[in-house]
Amino acid sequence: MVFQRISGLAALGAGVTYIIGFWFYFSILGPAQYGAANVPAAQHVQFLIDHQAMMISWNLVIYVLNAILMVLIVLGVHERIRAGAARLAQTAAAFGLIWAGFILAAGMVFNVGVARIVALNAHDPSAAENLWHAVVAIGSGLGGGNEITGGLWIFLLSIAGWGSRSISRATSALGLLIGAAGLVSTIPALAEAAIVFGLGFILWFFAIGAELIRTPAQPQPDA
């Protein structure tokens, strides 16, 4: 029960990291057109040079810290739902931990990449621009370019939570919607569904966090 409450607090923290991430993106990165495909790479590299510390801090919050919190969330939710749907819960947890690993890897790629791009630009601007393209492609592929892994995690656990009633119907329904949005976002024509995935997760993190803190289920013995 104590661990589920810790997991609930982690979910609230994860919701805050998402809010910070969206605020930073729409208030700073968006207006600067950072990452826009129609903007020369040299401009993106200069943005990193001018805001290196800020970008590294942002990556630490939305990727590294979020990944650490995600491990606690995945394990806490698994503990809650496993008694009523053991195999499904186990499968969901596997995808959840894989997703947390991808998020952590993305943060490490972005932060190592930022430092390397800034250093490389001092003597080889063209190489720095090429590296920026590579870092963005690899980092985005791991942590947000598509949402299939996170979508599978929340979709499967929501099915388990719905069937076993170990998670409220409202939270389970929200999770199913978010999971479906994540899965269809892998289709190029429906890539904008990733916005529903990200914004919906803010609500879900607070909803599941409140449930885990307020009414933690009794832990079940390991199989």
pTM: 0.91
| Contacts of residue 86, Cβ cutoff 8 Å, sequence gap at least 6 | 223
pLDDT digits (tens, 9 = 90+) for 42-96: 999 999 999 999 999 999 999 999 999 999 999 999 999 998 888 999 999 999 9
7 pLDDT tier (thresholds 50, 70, 90): very high
Average pLDDT, the chain: 92
Q: Is residue 219 part of a domain?
A: no
Q: Three-state SS for 157?
A: helix
Report the percent of the chain where pLDDT is more than 70: 95
- Total domains in the chain come to 1
> What is the DSSP code (8-state) at residue 217?
P
Q: Quote the pLDDT of residue 72.
A: 97
* In a domain? residue 222: no
Handedness of CA 167, 171, 173, 174 (dihedral sign): negative
Residue 23 burial (C-beta neighbours within 10 Å; 0-12, 13-18, 19+): exposed
Q: Is residue 28 part of a domain?
A: yes
Does 220 fall in a domain? no
Residue 171's domain comprises 2-214
What radius of gyration, in Å, describes the C-alpha atoms of the chain?
19
Q: Is the pLDDT of residue 218 over 70?
A: no
Write the CB contacts of 120 (distance below 8 Å, at least 6 apart in sequence): 127, 128, 131
Burial of 101 by CB count in 10 Å (0-12 exposed, 13-18 middle, 19+ buried)? Answer: middle
Average pLDDT, integer, range 11-17: 97
Burial (CB < 10 A; 0-12, 13-18, 19+), residue 123, is: exposed
The answer, yes or no, to whether residue 222 has pLDDT greater than 80, is: no
